[in-house]
Amino acid sequence: MLTYTLRRLLTSIPTLLFIALTIFLLLELAPGDPMAQVPLTVPPEVKEKMRLALGLGEPAYIRFWKWLVQFFWVEPLNFIDWLFNTSFAAEKQRVISWQTRSPVMDIVVQRMPQTLWVVGMSYIVGILIAIPIGIYSAYRQYSVFDQVGTFVTMVGFSIPPFFSGVLVIVVFSIFLGWFPSIYDTTHQVTDWDSFVVQLKQMIMPVMVLALQTTAQISRFMRASMLDNLNQDYVRTVRAKGLSETVVVLSHVLRNSLIPVVTVIALGVPAIFGGAIITEQVFKVNGIGQLLITAIQANDLPMVQTLTFIFAILIVFFNLVADLLYGILDPRIRYD
């Protein structure tokens, strides 16, 4: 397993380099000028100095190399500085956002807690709800529970978040007045009362995002369970006299989780990407909203860095899914 992991990590390096080059070239070919938002009263020579200060006067291959080196060598050091309160990267050159003139990773670290609070919690809640629903729906196929669960998941799959988000705001915020309609990103949890306030403002966005997660994963879980419930090994285990609880949870569930793990692992990068539409509806200043504002402002360093971070997460959690296969299925060996 260790040899396979190291080999996969080494082979992921050229993959990430190719992704980085693709992202850079696509954004270079995209229309737009970062100086377009500069007031017309600014003299042309000042605009040219600003352009040179942003590094736009250098050839594309030099800018790509600088961005790549700064990302791999400086941005991780920025995270270490933030985590351990050190200053390894204090004197290093950083990737600067064109929009805010601040280091990109500093802004990402500021926005990360909002995304983790809302989108991360909704993903965990969705998984915890979806797996039991999928298991019971498959075990009680065509029952009333299965029919209701199928209907609810189809609704959750079909309704877009910009509609369900506005709907829950109208019902629970305007008519009932239970929860705030706008997420207060400046709120800090310091005691129990502030934690309750944080919990209340999280309920509606978590509800909207968890509905989609539950709808997707529960359908995969149900289909995978149905495929395994009729296998020969299940009849053999039942013939040995084991209880239905042991048969379903110890044997069928373990094999059924193998394809579901792929869906769950590849959905984890969405936590860091953020639910862009939901963050817009509830005014959550997370990573998703940061990406949208960077695209609108033509902030190429921010867009490049965020997109590349998402690519790294996807490659990493692909590896995590493959390793979990070996844990769940004894027939899979990587040595």
> DSSP labels for 157-178?
HHS-HHHHHHHHIIIIIIIS--
Q: For 277-293, what is the mean pLDDT?
A: 78
Strand partners for 103: 96
Among 37-51, 182-196, 306-320, the least confident range: 37-51
Q: Mean pLDDT across the chain, nearest whole number? A: 77
Looking at the chain, the whole-number percentage of residues with pLDDT higher than 90 is 0
| Predicted pLDDT of residue 90 | 46
Among 38-42, 140-144, 193-197, the least confident range: 38-42
- In 3-state terms, what secondary structure has residue 226? helix
Q: Is the dihedral of CA 282, 79, 295, 274 positive or negative?
A: negative
* Residues 190 and 233 sit within 8 Å (Cβ to Cβ): no
| Predicted pLDDT of residue 91 | 46
| Predicted pLDDT of residue 241 | 77
* 293: confidence class by pLDDT, cuts 50, 70, 90: confident
Q: For 12-29, what is the mean pLDDT?
A: 84
- Cα–Cα distance between 305 and 322 in angstroms, integer? 26
pLDDT tens per residue, range 260-278: 888 888 777 776 666 677 7
| Predicted pLDDT of residue 322 | 77
| Predicted pLDDT of residue 55 | 62
Q: For 311-334, what is the mean pLDDT?
A: 75
Looking at the chain, the whole-number percentage of residues with pLDDT higher than 70 is 79
Residue 173 has pLDDT above 60, yes or no: yes
Residue 87 has pLDDT above 60, yes or no: no
CATH for 107-328, among 3.30.750.24, 3.40.50.920, 1.10.3720.10, 3.40.50.300?
A: 1.10.3720.10
- Cα–Cα distance between 302 and 20 in angstroms, integer? 13
What is the separation of C-alpha 216 from the centre of its chain, rounded to a whole number of angstroms?
Answer: 15
Among 6-10, 84-88, 264-268, the least confident range: 84-88
| Predicted pLDDT of residue 144 | 87
Residue 234 has pLDDT above 80, yes or no: no
Instruction: Name the segment(s) of the chain with CATH classification 1.10.3720.10.
Output: 107-328
pLDDT tens per residue, range 31-48: 666 666 665 666 766 666
- Cα–Cα distance between 115 and 327 in angstroms, integer? 30
Largest pairwise CA distance in the chain: 86
pLDDT tens per residue, range 44-85: 666 667 666 666 666 777 778 777 777 766 555 555 555 556
* 29: confidence class by pLDDT, cuts 50, 70, 90: confident
Residue 5 has pLDDT above 70, yes or no: yes
Closest to 32 (Cα-Cα) out of 288, 294, 291 = 294
| Predicted pLDDT of residue 36 | 60
Residue 145 has pLDDT above 60, yes or no: yes
Better pLDDT: 145 or 80? 145
> Per this entry, what is the length of the chain?
335
- Cα–Cα distance between 175 and 160 in angstroms, integer? 22
